[in-house]
Structure formats: structure tokens, C-alpha cells
Amino acid sequence: MHRSRGKLADGREIIYFDTAFADRGSADLRPLEPTAARSEVRRDPATGDWVTVAAHRQDRTYHPPADECPLCPSRDGRLSEIPADDYQVAVFQNRFPSLAPDAAAAHVPVGDGELRTDHPGTGRCEVVCFTADHDASFADLDEPRARLVLDAWTDRTAELSALPGVRQVYCFENRGAEIGVTLAHPHGQIYAFPFTTPRTRRALAAAEEHRARNGRNLFEDLLDAERAAGERVVLAGEHWTAFVPFAARWPYEVHLYPDRRVPDLTALTEPERAEFPRLYLELLRRFDRLFDGGPTPYVSAWHQAPLGRGAEFALHLELFTVRRTAGKLKYLAGVEAGMDAFVNDVAPEQAARRLREAGA
């Protein structure tokens, strides 16, 4: 992997990842003013969860036409967020970040104690462009390009984890207008959080309780149980296993675990990295074969251990779609949105069977 760095016109960083050396030294010629991220995090005293407030994001780019896509390369006199005229994988700081390194400069505290606690939204948000092809998707990548994306995720996890105040690094992709995606170009994002996210915090608490009761690791036991049962396993390689969880929340939801428990992407071995692209691409293609009527919308989320909390956690990827059948979406209604109590319309065993059949 070859990595090269540059600066955008407003001072944000851009990083190109290539399988071999490539000259990506084009300058950003846009007349951009430096941006100020007015981000803060506020603690909910009833749950302990941190909520990010980023009012400046109301002005972010929203469904531009294809010929004005900010994630395409800069070509034919049209300048975009990518100054180079071509790229393989490009990562840059988000122009409209939820969290930013300079958030403290614009922060005006409004909290006044235990019930109202707020801090600057210090962190970093990056955009990961998987390909220069506007009309492609991650599933269209070949295995070497998917491996390059994995290497970029790993590189950014290592570097962002070293930033002051960062507690957890989250790599993810939202795909499809049904998910709420506002830019059609194939891309994902990376958030470097100044706190441990609520879902991870609950998972760690469950792992600690499991250890106290049984003396074993929760995630290792979970993976062993699914591999032994087999009925919810969708794909299995030499180093990775993909399965529908026993208590899946979404109609079609798959968790992809390395068989060897590691805390984050940086701890994967070369054989584990080499096998990942084949299995992941196959999962994405099976999702696209589930329904008639176009590509399947999905969220793909890497769950990594917070800094200093890797002893009980297990790296894994969670992939799910909001589509429950052809032409019908799973909306978060009163019980899900109001109480975080999910009701699934598809039995996990049925979902696993359909995903296995989609590989035929």
C-alpha cells in the first residue's frame, strides 16, 4: 500500500491510498474559507449517554446532481473535494463534521453541573471514498481494491486512536437513499469519538457480567455457540465467520467476526486481512440478490474496542438493511424509536436461510 498526503484549500487533510505508487499531488484550487465546527457533546443524565450537537451541519451538501458530485475526481475544469484527476481510495476530513479537532475554539459552555454537562465536540470525522467511479458500489470492487479499503480503515484507526481525547474509532458505510444518504457516490465515514458510544458501553457491561458469572469471554462464547449450532451461519472461511445473530434486530442482519478475538482492526494478522475481502464482498452481493428492484440499502458498521478497553471486547462488523421485503422498509416506529425495544418481522433463522440461498 502507498499512502500520500495533501491539503485542501481550507486546510483540511486529504490522504490517498494506492496499491502502488501514484502521483496524486494536484493542488486544490477552490477559493475556500477555513471552516469552524461548532460542535459540542452533552451528557444525558438519565442514561449517561453523550449526545453530539452540531448545528452547523444543517448547511451540508444535500443530494447534488451527478455532474456536481463533490466526491468525484476533479476533472474537465470541475473542482471537487478530491483535487486529483483520479484515485483508488481517498480519505479526507469532512467539511461539515459532527466532531472536529478545533471544536474547543468555538465552544461556549452552557452546562452548570451534574444534570447539565457539556464539552467541546473534539474529535475528527473523515470521508472514505471507495472508488472514483460514481456509479459503482462497494460490492463492485474487486478483492485487491476491497483489501485497499481495509488497509485504509486500519491506517486511520491507528492514527486517529493516537489523537488527544479520542476514546473510540468507528468506521462505517451508509448506502442508499432509504438509509438517509445524501451523496450517491460510493463512500463511507470514520468518526473519532471523544467518548465511548452507548452501544459499545452496553456491550462491554454485558461482557463484564458474563466474565463474572462464567469466567469466560462473552464474544468468544457467542461465536462458538453460533458456529456449533450452524443454522444461522451464512458464510465461514478459514479465519472469519458470518452469521445472523440469535436476537437480530433488523430483518436481514449479519455479523462478521474474525475467529480469533482481537480488539480492533490494527490487531488483525496478514492471513485474516487477506481473507476478509472475499467474504465481505460475497456478503454484500448476497444482500443485493435478496430483493428485486435495485441495490439493497444497508448500514455496514465496524465495532472496535474503545481505547484501553480491549481486554473483553471483540472486533466485528455488523451489516444490516432496513428493507424487510421487496418494496417494504423497516421503519423505527414507537417501540423502537421510543423505547429501543426492537420488533423483527423476519425470523433470524429464515433470514440466514435466505442469505445462504442467495449465494447459489
In a shared domain, residues 178 and 44: yes
In a shared domain, residues 176 and 54: yes
348-357 and 270-288 helices cross at what angle (nearest 10)? 100
Contact partners, residue 55, CB within 8 Å, separation at least 6: 38
pLDDT per residue, tens digit, the chain (360 aa), is 999 999 999 999 999 999 999 999 999 999 998 877 789 999 999 999 999 998 877 776 666 887 899 999 999 889 999 999 999 999 999 999 999 998 866 777 777 778 998 899 999 999 999 999 999 999 999 999 999 999 999 999 999 999 999 999 999 999 998 998 989 999 999 999 999 999 999 999 999 999 999 999 999 999 999 999 999 999 999 999 999 999 999 999 999 999 999 999 999 999 999 999 999 999 999 999 999 767 999 999 999 999 999 999 999 999 999 999 988 889 888 999 999 999 999 999 999 999 999 986
- pLDDT attached to residue 293: 61
Gap between the Cα atoms of 123 and 107, Å rounded? 13
- Residue where one domain finishes, among candidates 150, 175, 195: 195
Question: Hey, what's the torsion of the CAs at 335, 340, 346, 349, to 10 degrees?
Answer: -150
In a shared domain, residues 247 and 290: yes
In a shared domain, residues 299 and 223: yes
In a shared domain, residues 229 and 187: no
- pLDDT attached to residue 360: 67
- Domain range holding 167? 2-195
Gap between the Cα atoms of 245 and 349, Å rounded? 9
Contact partners, residue 355, CB within 8 Å, separation at least 6: 234, 244, 252, 254, 283, 286, 287, 290
In a shared domain, residues 142 and 232: no
- Taking phi over 0 as left and psi of -120 to 50 as alpha, with beta for the rest, 340 belongs to left
Q: Where are the alpha helices (DSSP H) in the chain?
A: 103-106, 143-161, 198-214, 218-229, 270-288, 334-339, 348-357
In a shared domain, residues 227 and 244: yes
Contact partners, residue 342, CB within 8 Å, separation at least 6: 249, 250, 335, 336
Gap between the Cα atoms of 1 and 194, Å rounded? 29
Nearest to 194 by CA among 96, 119, 112: 119
Gap between the Cα atoms of 6 and 92, Å rounded? 9
Residues known to be catalytic:
187
Gap between the Cα atoms of 129 and 119, Å rounded? 30
Gap between the Cα atoms of 344 and 148, Å rounded? 35
Q: What is the CATH number of the domain that holds 48?
A: 3.30.428.10
Strand 252-258 relative to strand 233-236, pairing: unpaired
CB atoms inside a 10 Å sphere around CB 358:
18
In a shared domain, residues 152 and 33: yes
Q: Are 323 and 330 in contact (CB under 8 A)?
A: yes
The cell for 99 is: 466532531
- Residue where one domain finishes, among candidates 178, 195, 212: 195
Q: How many domains does the chain have?
A: 2
In a shared domain, residues 20 and 167: yes
Cell 481517498, residue?
A: 90
- Cα 323 from chain centre: 19
Gap between the Cα atoms of 269 and 186, Å rounded? 27
CB atoms inside a 10 Å sphere around CB 256:
22
- Residue where one domain finishes, among candidates 195, 230, 248: 195
* H/E element, 14: strand 13-18
In a shared domain, residues 161 and 230: no
In a shared domain, residues 155 and 203: no
Strand 89-93 relative to strand 117-120, pairing: unpaired
Nearest to 246 by CA among 337, 347, 110: 347
Strand 316-321 relative to strand 252-258, pairing: antiparallel
Predicted TM-score (pTM) of the model is 0.96
Gap between the Cα atoms of 98 and 81, Å rounded? 18
In a shared domain, residues 173 and 249: no
